[in-house]
Structure 1
Amino acid sequence: MNTKTFLVSGLIGGIVDWLLGWLFYGILLADYFPQPAESTKTMVCILAGCLTFGFFVSYIFNRWAQISTAATGAKAGAIIGFFMGLNASLFNMALVKGVTYQMFAIDLVVSIILAAIVGAVVGIVNGKLNPNN
């Protein structure tokens, strides 16, 4: 695994995840989902979580799957997003008051879309940095 490719694609993937999360949850679905308390701690934790996801996808793509195209990255990202979104949505349904089946479904769909886009971006970056893949 090329460490530089892992770090760059993971960082870019994490930033894309953060920006898309802000767009989807902070703007497009702001009236539908409860908004977190605005604090430095909240924003740092959200950014750290998004970067963690970017590095997670980058690690899988670089270490195990050698994914270096947008199409393959989007497909793999969608699968990752489905399972991670399903996991998080099931826990939210069980533990957070007020979560409805409709919120569950919308959150799962958004998770798949976000992860597919992050996967495509990580795949593109991997292809640009490692053209031999």
Structure 2
Amino acid sequence: MKNLLVSGIVGGFVNFLLGWVFYGILFKDIYPEGEDMNLVFTFLGCLTFGLFIAFIFTKWAGITIPLSGMKAGAIIGFFTSLSMNFFMYSNMPVNYQNIVLDVVISTVIGALVGASVALTLGKMK
């Protein structure tokens, strides 16, 4: 349980920082900050994703090697992002370029979160 929590928190922080880099700096014109943006909920979402990856790695997959974590994280990031984008655009005008860009960004973030979770788990053995 300790390994899951620690690695999940590390993954959550990595997710938050990478989200800030990608969505807050590099692509801020494409994904503008809303006037009601709440960073607490943003961080909680990132933490939840980190814990989700850590749960899969510790309870089901036994992943403790960063390269394996990167591959698994990329796959998880790809499918969760694709699913989220399909749901999100079911209620608004579709922007295919933003869907592709978001899925690519989320896949990269998922890969790096997965690698950081696996690295943390490997160090805690």
What band does the TM-score fall into relative to the shorter chain? over 0.9
Residue 2 (structure 2) aligns with: 4
Residue 71 (structure 1) aligns with: 67
TM-score, normalised by the number of residues in structure 2: 0.95
Distance 1:14 1:43 in 2: 13
| CA positional deviation for 1:33 | 1.5
| CA positional deviation for 1:92 | 1.9
2:24 aligned with 1:26: yes
Aligned residue runs from structure 1 range 1-133, under 5 A:
3-37=1-35, 39=37, 42-97=38-93, 99-130=94-125
| CA positional deviation for 1:38 | 5.1
- After superposition, what is the alpha-carbon deviation per residue over 1:84-127, rounded to whole angstroms, capped at 9, x for unaligned? 01011111221234x41000100000110000000000000000
Identical amino acids, percent of aligned pairs: 46
RMSD of aligned residue pairs (Cα, Å) = 1.1
- After superposition, what is the alpha-carbon deviation per residue over 1:36-66, rounded to whole angstroms, capped at 9, x for unaligned? 2255xx1111000000000000000000101
Distance 1:26 1:110 in 2: 12
Distance 2:92 2:14 in 1: 27
Give the number of aligned pairs: 125
Off by >3 Å, runs of 4+ in structure 1: none
**Matched letter for residue 74 of structure 1:** M
Aligned to 2:7, what secondary structure does the other structure show?
helix
Distance 1:58 1:46 in 2: 19
Distance 2:92 2:57 in 1: 33
| CA positional deviation for 1:34 | 2.7
Which sections of structure 1, spanning at least 5 residues, go unmatched? none
Which sections of structure 2, spanning at least 5 residues, go unmatched? none
